[in-house]
């Protein structure tokens, strides 16, 4: 083999690469690259014609620079010139550059096509291959138009060299993928199929890829490929490993080709012809047998290659799903792999077994491995393997092993990775429901779920347990007793309070006979949790209380007392206040009969598909991110409606919108909750005002500020990019605010408490004087009363190339949402220039960071639980999700970044106080990234509604 | 189908990248950074397949160099895993004990080798002698 020093060493290139390697810093590297780019540019532009060698050298350098991550915007022409060189090395570099750097819509395609045409006609196989590779890599429509008719001819011609055939096959595949209409089926198709018989294995390898693609669209035209593939496979599988010489890899004959043939067969149902089928079954059996034979080599490559074929054979067996014997053998083989010391094999075996579990023939065989799989769930060190194990347990679950699997999953949940907890919760909930013979087991399981992983139990899950308890009267007493016991725990999850409140409100009477759970004890137990709960839970509990008045008249006095207390009847939350007032009135005016009718036991729910199942299906979608977007438009998202007695009484929160745990979509406030139907709907409606009325979009802001500006006799609207420019400064105080050909405006600012000072630097970029230079600050909307800005006047003349400075003193009187405007007028040449921008002063500039402990944080978080105090947004990441950058942005935003507060280390929490002259607004924030979905959820809680919303809006634009 | 083929070192520097579906430069840089982050964070006991966005990553580590291949569900993970090794063996044969330096300084050769093995996202040749044939022609021409 040639040593590196040999060949056509391009010294210049080697020197350049060494230079780059020796660069100590990124800056030095960039400097060196820019120098080189300038050099190459001048060489290409120079009058001296470059010889092929230099062109090749420079094009090679450009390729290298591109690989380092720099954009290359020249040199394409020189690369195209290299194509017509008759030196192979030069031509090759030209083609390489083009296939790496030219995309399919380049204007150069015509020139490239010309060169390709010449090379295809050259009858020189190496040149032909280069040209075909190029088409296969670029594959534009123009190329398809030029060559689609010619390639099939080259592919099937008798005198074409093998290597050219290989390239032609892949080239045709590309053209067929990009422009199927330009590749007409024809006489060549049957000859393509016969390439499977070609004596050259490389040609077969290439042909299989082509046929696998073509046959998907035209299965009938290519049907003959099945028998040909079977016979080819059979010849490979049964041959002694020496027969195939160079295609043998560590004693395994043609492993990649075997895999591809087995994959091709999966495009078709089992062969009908008995002889073909017999031969195929024989092949599959041989492959399974070989797995049991002692290895021909100790090298891991040998067993890997063998296993690649084995896994593909098993896929085919599962695809056919018709040979019980093979299915069981496949299952046993995978069972062995489950205990293999190679993690890769265990992973693949779990994955493969998961599909095997759904076949009726092998389901029982899969089940015998339950202990191993459970063990994998407990002991595997790799979360992706554990995930596969959980999937498999779910797939192999049936009535006989449900209790075992569910209990194992529950115990796994206590230590499970955060990333898969929610999915496990859903799986447990589904299995418990699906295989429940005895519904007390089901109730126990769900309550355990809430106890162990309450935060991951979504609304669907606890809705569902209530539906089931209401529909099955044999379990109601048990459920009441169990929730009552569960609620005795000093700290129980809010979801437990919800389930407990609902169930006791409906069925508390079933356990009221026992003095230990007398009505008053039940009430006191529930009410002891009341103050720690969120608004929606408290609303639910109020409904429970009125139901208690109906169920247990003896509690009426106590409960009316509670409803009458200031903390209920004068509650700042309208929903709670309304409920308290109405329930109090209802209990004192309505007769016992009326009360009994209004608060009658819930009617059974109509049976529908479990909303949890729907949710799991959604979670399992291909890309969680896109799934979320689709979900919102999904017309089927009404399944969750199971909770409402009649689906039409309220708009239904869509379960899919919950993918990230988002609370339900805004629900219309029911205006008259005094009727029974609505009452109960209300119990489940999310606090309505929390999510309604999002902050008006930037667009609206822009319009309104414009309108206000025109009132204050300022004719100019802020420029279109004003909001975008403003956004850049939300998390930083210094930088360039604006720049065009004439003017650059820099900003430097500092803020302390409710005061701030801003320096604006106006730079004249031209060589001509600006005249009558006047910047004016104006206040759109109510801003005048919220913000006070004092400016010093600037000299009206700004010389060419000079910079003038303006100082602004800022005082924040109260919180605000609009940004102040600055209008700049000046004369440049003869024309009046007029420009309006938003000044980068946003309410978060007056943040004072506050450090606090976890305990304090959560206490305050709970205190700010009124719906209007919270603002939340879920949004897609616009930038890479880098934790350092995120931290820097949050600090720049002004709040303190609190470490070790959130139980999930990926989340960020912050706290601070907005300082204004009139008042101080305490703010808490929480940012939860979801790296998989590339999304964030941002929650702001402050003591003032407008501040929550505005901060949420500002901050959500930053990631 | 193979979506991309990357060689990245432990410092996160890309030494070779070949995309079989168009992707713009900015996205490539982000993808390469994320991919190497994923690979580096894994220990030897963990499996060599990572689910990442819409595709699966199959990776192998050779000294300080990672070879990472992005595939969709139509490829066989184990076959791709061995394809990587086969590729490295071909490099080894051509460069006689390949190192990261060879890959940097002789990038065009590495590209030729890869193009002979994988074309348009499909495995096209696995026979070492045939993969190296065009290169030998090339070297012979350069010498004469």
Q: What is the pLDDT of residue A620?
A: 60
Q: What separation in angstroms does the CA of B125 have from each of A44, A135, B119?
A: 37, 18, 9
User: Are the C-beta atoms of residues A175 and A147 closer than 8 Å to each other?
Assistant: yes
Q: How confident is the model at residue A240 (pLDDT cuts 50, 70, 90)?
A: low
Q: Does A287 contact B at CB distance below 8 Å?
A: no
Place of tokens 């008249």: A553
Q: Which 8-state DSSP code applies to residue A85? A: -
Put simply, the answer to whether B119 touches A69 (Cβ < 8 Å) is no
A93 to chain B: which residues are within 8 Å by CB? Answer: 108
Q: What is the pLDDT of residue A692?
A: 31
Q: What is the pLDDT of residue B95?
A: 93
Mean pLDDT, rounded, for A522-551: 92
Instruction: Find out whether A618 is annotated in a ligand binding site.
Output: no
Mean pLDDT, all residues of chain A: 82
Put simply, the answer to whether B123 touches A205 (Cβ < 8 Å) is yes
Residue A657 pLDDT > 90: no
Element (H, E) at A583: helix A574-589
Q: What is the pLDDT of residue A626?
A: 34
Q: How confident is the model at residue A916 (pLDDT cuts 50, 70, 90)?
A: confident
Q: How confident is the model at residue A462 (pLDDT cuts 50, 70, 90)?
A: confident
A301 to chain B: which residues are within 8 Å by CB? Answer: 82, 85
Q: Which 8-state DSSP code applies to residue A798? A: B
Burial of B16 (0-12, 13-18, 19+ CB in 10 A): middle
Q: Does A344 contact B at CB distance below 8 Å?
A: yes
Q: Tens digit of pLDDT for each residue in A200-222? A: 899 999 999 999 999 988 888 89
Q: Which 8-state DSSP code applies to residue A510? A: G
Q: Among B16, B56, B71, B7, which residue's Cα sits nearest to residue B36?
A: B7
Q: How confident is the model at residue A166 (pLDDT cuts 50, 70, 90)?
A: very high
Torsion of CA A677, A678, A679, A682, to 10 degrees: 130
Mean pLDDT, rounded, for A575-604: 88
Q: What is the distance between the alpha carbons of residues A346 and B48, in angstroms, rounded to a whole number?
A: 11
Q: What is the distance between the alpha carbons of residues B113 and A67, in angstroms, rounded to a whole number?
A: 17
B128 to chain A: which residues are within 8 Å by CB? Answer: 246
Q: Which of A20-24, A37-41, A163-167, A431-435 has the lowest mean pLDDT?
A: A20-24
Q: Tens digit of pLDDT for each residue in A681-698? A: 333 333 333 333 333 333
- CB atoms near residue A438 (< 10 Å): 12
Instruction: Find out whether A58 is annotated in a ligand binding site.
Output: yes
Q: What is the pLDDT of residue A664?
A: 34
Residue A704 pLDDT > 50: no
Put simply, the answer to whether B133 touches A67 (Cβ < 8 Å) is no
Q: What is the distance between the alpha carbons of residues B50 and A165, in angstroms, rounded to a whole number?
A: 35
Mean pLDDT, rounded, for B61-86: 94
Rama region for A304: left / alpha / beta (φ>0; ψ in -120 to 50; rest): alpha
Q: What is the distance between the alpha carbons of residues A936 and A718, in angstroms, rounded to a whole number?
A: 30
Name the most confidently modeled range: A91-100, A325-334, A727-736, A900-909: A325-334
Residue A379 pLDDT > 70: yes
Q: Quick one: three-class SS letters along B63-106?
A: CCEEEEEEECCCCCHHHHHHHHHHHHHHHHHHHCCCCHHHHHHC
User: Are the C-beta atoms of residues A189 and A214 closer than 8 Å to each other?
Assistant: yes
Contacts of A484 (CB under 8 A, 6+ apart): A500, A504, A511, A517, A522, A525
Which residue of B22, B93, B108 is in closest CB contact with A1?
B93
Put simply, the answer to whether B76 touches A312 (Cβ < 8 Å) is yes
Dig out the tokens for B87 from the structure: 């590729």
Q: Which 8-state DSSP code applies to residue A695? A: P
Q: What is the distance between the alpha carbons of residues A431 and A618, in angstroms, rounded to a whole number?
A: 17
Q: Among B106, B132, B104, which residue's Cα sits nearest to residue B117?
A: B132
Q: What separation in angstroms does the CA of A445 have from each of A412, A428, A450, A452, A807?
A: 14, 8, 9, 10, 66
Place of tokens 């210049």: A12
Q: What pairing do the DSSP bridges indicate for beta strands A755-764 and A770-778? A: unpaired
User: Are the C-beta atoms of residues A809 and A789 closer than 8 Å to each other?
Assistant: yes
Burial of A414 (0-12, 13-18, 19+ CB in 10 A): exposed
Place of tokens 């004469």: B144
- CB atoms near residue A672 (< 10 Å): 8
| Strand positions, DSSP E, A695-740 | 735-739
Q: What is the pLDDT of residue B118?
A: 94
CA nearest to A127 within chain B = B134
Q: Tens digit of pLDDT for each residue in A757-773? A: 898 999 888 888 888 88
CA nearest to A140 within chain B = B22
Put simply, the answer to whether A344 touches B49 (Cβ < 8 Å) is yes
Q: Which of A183-192, A398-407, A601-610, A895-904 has the lowest mean pLDDT?
A: A601-610
Q: What is the distance between the alpha carbons of residues A563 and A557, in angstroms, rounded to a whole number?
A: 10
Q: What is the pLDDT of residue A479?
A: 93
Which residue of B49, B76, B111 is in closest CB contact with A96?
B111
Chain B nearest C-alpha distance from A509 (Å)? 52
Put simply, the answer to whether B124 touches A209 (Cβ < 8 Å) is yes
Q: Among B67, B137, B141, which residue's Cα sits nearest to residue B103?
A: B67
First and final C-alpha spacing in chain A: 52
Q: What is the pLDDT of residue A599?
A: 86
Put simply, the answer to whether B119 touches A136 (Cβ < 8 Å) is yes
Put simply, the answer to whether B45 touches A139 (Cβ < 8 Å) is no
DSSP reduced 3-state for A474: coil
Q: Does A255 contact B at CB distance below 8 Å?
A: yes
DSSP reduced 3-state for A726: helix
A·B CB contacts under 8 A: 186
| Strand positions, DSSP E, A123-266 | 248-249, 252-253
Residue A254 pLDDT > 70: yes
| Residues, chain B | 144
pTM of the model: 0.65
Q: What is the distance between the alpha carbons of residues A207 and A428, in angstroms, rounded to a whole number?
A: 46
Q: Quick one: three-class SS letters along A438-451?
A: CHHHHHHHHHHHHH
CA A423 to chain centre: 15
Dig out the tokens for A72 from the structure: 């290359």
Place of tokens 């960071």: A849
Q: What is the pLDDT of residue A637?
A: 34
Express as a percent the part of chain A with pLDDT over 90: 33
B16 to chain A: which residues are within 8 Å by CB? Answer: 67
Dig out the tokens for A807 from the structure: 């100082």
Put simply, the answer to whether B138 touches A64 (Cβ < 8 Å) is no
Which residue of B15, B45, B50 is in closest CB contact with A343?
B45
**Sheet containing A755-764: order of strands:** A735-739, A743-752, A755-764, A803-812, A787-791
| Strand positions, DSSP E, A653-703 | none
Cβ within 8 Å of B, A 293-332: 301, 304-305, 307-308, 311-312
Q: What is the pLDDT of residue A722?
A: 81
Select the more confidently predicted residue: A714 or A379: A379
Q: Tens digit of pLDDT for each residue in A67-104? A: 887 888 888 888 999 998 888 888 988 998 998 887 76
Instruction: Find out whether A60 is annotated in a ligand binding site.
Output: yes
Q: How confident is the model at residue A37 (pLDDT cuts 50, 70, 90)?
A: very high
Chain B nearest C-alpha distance from A202 (Å)? 5
Contacts of A58 (CB under 8 A, 6+ apart): A40, A43, A44, A50, A75, A78
Put simply, the answer to whether A307 touches B46 (Cβ < 8 Å) is no
Q: Does A423 contact B at CB distance below 8 Å?
A: no
Q: What is the ipTM score, two decimals?
A: 0.95
Q: What is the distance between the alpha carbons of residues A570 and A823, in angstroms, rounded to a whole number?
A: 47
Q: What is the distance between the alpha carbons of residues A52 and A62, in angstroms, rounded to a whole number?
A: 15
Q: What is the distance between the alpha carbons of residues B121 and A21, in angstroms, rounded to a whole number?
A: 31
Which residue of B16, B94, B138 is in closest CB contact with A89?
B138
Strand-pairing partners, residue A929, are A936
Instruction: Find out whether A619 is annotated in a ligand binding site.
Output: no
Q: What is the pLDDT of residue A405?
A: 94
Q: What is the distance between the alpha carbons of residues A151 and A677, in angstroms, rounded to a whole number?
A: 71
Q: Among A699, A166, A811, which residue's Cα sits nearest to residue B126?
A: A166
Put simply, the answer to whether B45 touches A96 (Cβ < 8 Å) is no
Buried b (16+ CB within 10 A) or exposed e, A916-937: beeebbbbbbbbbbbeebbbbb
Q: Tens digit of pLDDT for each residue in A286-326? A: 999 999 999 889 999 999 999 999 999 999 999 999 889 99
Cβ within 8 Å of B, A 41-80: 60, 63-64, 67-69, 71
Residue A614 pLDDT > 90: no
Put simply, the answer to whether B81 touches A17 (Cβ < 8 Å) is no
Q: Tens digit of pLDDT for each residue in A825-878? A: 888 877 888 888 888 999 888 988 888 888 888 888 888 887 788 888 888 888
User: Are the C-beta atoms of residues A328 and A361 closer than 8 Å to each other?
Assistant: yes
Torsion angles phi and psi, residue A128, rounded to 5? -60, -40
B93 to chain A: which residues are within 8 Å by CB? Answer: 1
Put simply, the answer to whether A174 touches B120 (Cβ < 8 Å) is yes
Give the DSSP per-residue string, A646-665.
SGGGSPPPPGGGGTT-PPPP
Buried b (16+ CB within 10 A) or exposed e, A264-296: bbebbebbeeeebbebbbebbbebbebbeeeee
User: Are the C-beta atoms of residues A327 and A361 closer than 8 Å to each other?
Assistant: yes
Q: What separation in angstroms does the CA of A819 have from each of A698, A728, A729, A732, A953?
A: 12, 13, 12, 15, 13
Q: Quick one: three-class SS letters along A219-256?
A: CCCCCCHHHHHHHHHHHHHHCCCCCCHHHEECCEECHH
Instruction: Find out whether A59 is annotated in a ligand binding site.
Output: yes
Element (H, E) at A292: helix A274-292
Long-range CB contact pairs, A30-37, < 8 A, 24+: A33/A65, A33/A68, A33/A70, A36/A61, A36/A65, A37/A65
């Amino acid at each position: 083999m040639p040593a590196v020093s040999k060949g056509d060493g391009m010294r210049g290139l080697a020197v350049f690469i060494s230079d780059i390697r020796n660069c100590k810093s990124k800056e030095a590297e960039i400097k060196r690259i820019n120098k080189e780019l300038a050099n190459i540019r001048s060489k290409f532009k120079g009058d001296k014609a470059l010889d092929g060698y230099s062109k090749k050298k420079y094009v090679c350098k450009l390729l290298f620079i591109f690989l380092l991550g720099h954009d290359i915007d020249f040199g394409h022409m020189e690369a195209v010139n290299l194509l017509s060189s008759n030196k192979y090395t030069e031509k090759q570099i030209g083609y390489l550059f083009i296939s790496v750097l030219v995309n399919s819509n380049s204007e150069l395609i015509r020139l490239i096509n010309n060169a390709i045409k010449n090379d295809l006609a050259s009858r020189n196989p190496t040149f032909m291959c280069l040209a075909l590779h190029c088409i296969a890599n670029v594959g534009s429509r123009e190329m398809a138009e030029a060559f689609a008719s010619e390639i099939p001819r080259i592919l099937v011609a008798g005198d074409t060299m093998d290597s050219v055939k290989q390239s032609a096959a892949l080239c045709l595949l590309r053209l067929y993928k990009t422009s199927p209409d330009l590749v007409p089926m024809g006489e060549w198709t049957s000859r393509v199929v016969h390439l499977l018989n070609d004596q050259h294995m490389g040609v077969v390898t290439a042909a299989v890829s082509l046929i696998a693609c073509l046959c998907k669209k035209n299965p009938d035209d290519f049907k003959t490929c099945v028998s040909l593939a079977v016979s080819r496979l059979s010849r490979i599988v049964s041959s002694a490993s020496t027969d195939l010489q160079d295609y043998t890899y560590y004693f395994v004959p043609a492993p990649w080709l075997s895999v591809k043939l087995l994959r091709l067969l999966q495009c078709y149902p089992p062969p009908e012809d008995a002889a073909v089928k017999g031969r195929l079954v024989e092949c599959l059996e041989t492959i399974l047998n070989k797995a049991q034979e002692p290895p021909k080599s100790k090298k891991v490559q040998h067993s890997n290659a063998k296993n690649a074929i084995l896994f593909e054979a098993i896929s085919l067996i599962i695809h056919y799903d018709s040979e019980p014997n093979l299915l069981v053998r496949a299952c046993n083989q995978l069972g062995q792999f489950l205990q293999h010391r190679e993690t890769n094999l265990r992973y693949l075996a779990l994955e493969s077994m998961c599909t095997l579990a759904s076949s009726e023939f092998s389901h029982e065989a899969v089940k015998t491995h339950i202990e191993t799989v459970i063990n994998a769930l407990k002991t595997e060190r790799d979360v992706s393997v554990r995930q596969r194990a959980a999937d498999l347990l779910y797939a192999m679950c049936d009535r006989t092993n449900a209790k075992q699997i569910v209990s194992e999953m529950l115990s796994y949940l206590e230590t499970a990775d955060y990333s898969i907890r929610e999915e496990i919760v859903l799986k447990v909930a589904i299995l418990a429901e699906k295989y429940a013979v005895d519904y007390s087991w089901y109730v126990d399981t769900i309550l355990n779920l809430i106890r162990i992983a309450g935060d991951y139990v979504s609304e669907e899950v606890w809705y569902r347990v209530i539906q089931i308890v209401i529909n099955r009267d044999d379990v109601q007493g048990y459920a009441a007793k169990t929730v009552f016991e569960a609620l005795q725990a000093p700290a129980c999850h809010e979801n437990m309070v919800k389930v407990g409140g609902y169930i006791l409100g409906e069925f508390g009477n079933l356990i009221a006979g026992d003095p230990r759970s007398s009505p008053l004890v039940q009430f006191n137990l529930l009410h002891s949790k009341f103050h720690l709960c969120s608004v929606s839970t408290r609303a639910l509990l109020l409904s429970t209380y009125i139901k208690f008045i109906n169920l247990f008249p003896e509690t009426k006095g106590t409960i009316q007392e509670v409803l009458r207390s200031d903390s209920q009847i004068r509650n700042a939350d309208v929903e709670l206040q309304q409920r308290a007032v109405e329930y109090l009135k209802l209990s004192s005016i309505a007769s016992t009969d009326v009360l009994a009718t209004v608060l009658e036991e819930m009617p059974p729910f109509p049976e529908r598909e479990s909303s949890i199942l729907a949710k799991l299906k959604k979670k399992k979608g291909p890309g969680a991110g896109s799934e979320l977007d689709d979900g919102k438009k999904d017309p089927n998202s009404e399944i969750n409606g199971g909770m409402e007695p009649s689906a039409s009484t309220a708009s239904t929160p869509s379960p899919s919108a919950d993918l990230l745990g988002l609370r339900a979509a805004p629900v219309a406030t029911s205006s008259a909750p005094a009727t029974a139907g609505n009452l109960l709907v209300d119990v489940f409606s999310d606090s309505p005002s929390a999510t309604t009325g999002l902050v008006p979009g930037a667009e609206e802001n822009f319009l309104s500020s414009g309108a206000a500006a025109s009132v204050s006799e300022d004719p100019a609207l802020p420029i279109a990019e004003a909001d975008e420019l403003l956004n850049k400064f939300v998390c930083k105080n210094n930088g360039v605010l604006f720049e065009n050909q004439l003017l650059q405006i820099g900003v430097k600012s500092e803020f302390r408490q409710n005061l701030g000072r801003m320096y604006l630097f106006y730079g004249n970029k031209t060589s001509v004087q600006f005249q009558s230079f006047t910047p004016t600050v104006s206040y759109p909307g109510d801003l005048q009363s919220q913000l006070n800005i004092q400016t010093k006047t600037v000299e009206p003349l700004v010389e060419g190339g000079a910079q003038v400075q303006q100082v602004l003193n800022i005082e924040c009187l109260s919180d605000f949402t609009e940004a102040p405007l600055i209008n700049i007028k000046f004369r440049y040449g003869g024309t009046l220039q007029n420009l309006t921008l938003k000044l980068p002063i946003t309410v978060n500039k007056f943040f004072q960071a506050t450090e606090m402990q976890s305990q304090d944080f959560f206490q305050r978080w709970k205190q700010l639980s009124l719906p209007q105090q919270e603002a939340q947004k879920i949004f897609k990441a616009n930038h890479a999700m880098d934790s350092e950058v995120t931290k820097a942005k949050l600090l720049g935003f002004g709040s303190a970044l609190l470490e070790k507060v959130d139980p999930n280390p990926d989340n960020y929490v912050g706290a601070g106080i907005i300082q204004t002259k009139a008042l101080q607004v305490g703010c808490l924030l929480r940012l939860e990234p979801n790296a998989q979905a590339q999304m964030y959820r941002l929650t702001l809680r402050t003591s003032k509604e407008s501040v929550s919303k505005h901060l949420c809006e500002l901050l959500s634009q930053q990631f | 189908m193979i979506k991309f083929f990357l060689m990245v070192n432990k410092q996160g520097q890309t030494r070779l990248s070949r995309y079989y579906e168009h992707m713009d430069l900015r996205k490539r840089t982000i993808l390469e950074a994320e991919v190497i982050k994923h690979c580096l964070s894994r220990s030897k006991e963990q499996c060599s397949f990572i689910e990442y966005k819409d595709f699966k990553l199959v990776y192998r580590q050779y000294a300080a160099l990672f070879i990472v291949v992005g595939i969709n569900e139509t490829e066989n993970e184990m076959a791709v895993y061995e394809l990587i090794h086969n590729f490295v063996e071909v490099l080894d044969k051509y460069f006689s004990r390949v190192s990261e330096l060879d890959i940097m300084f002789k990038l065009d050769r590495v590209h030729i080798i890869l193009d002979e093995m994988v074309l348009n996202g499909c495995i096209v040749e696995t026979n070492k002698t045939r993969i190296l044939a065009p290169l030998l022609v090339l070297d012979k021409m350069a010498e004469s």
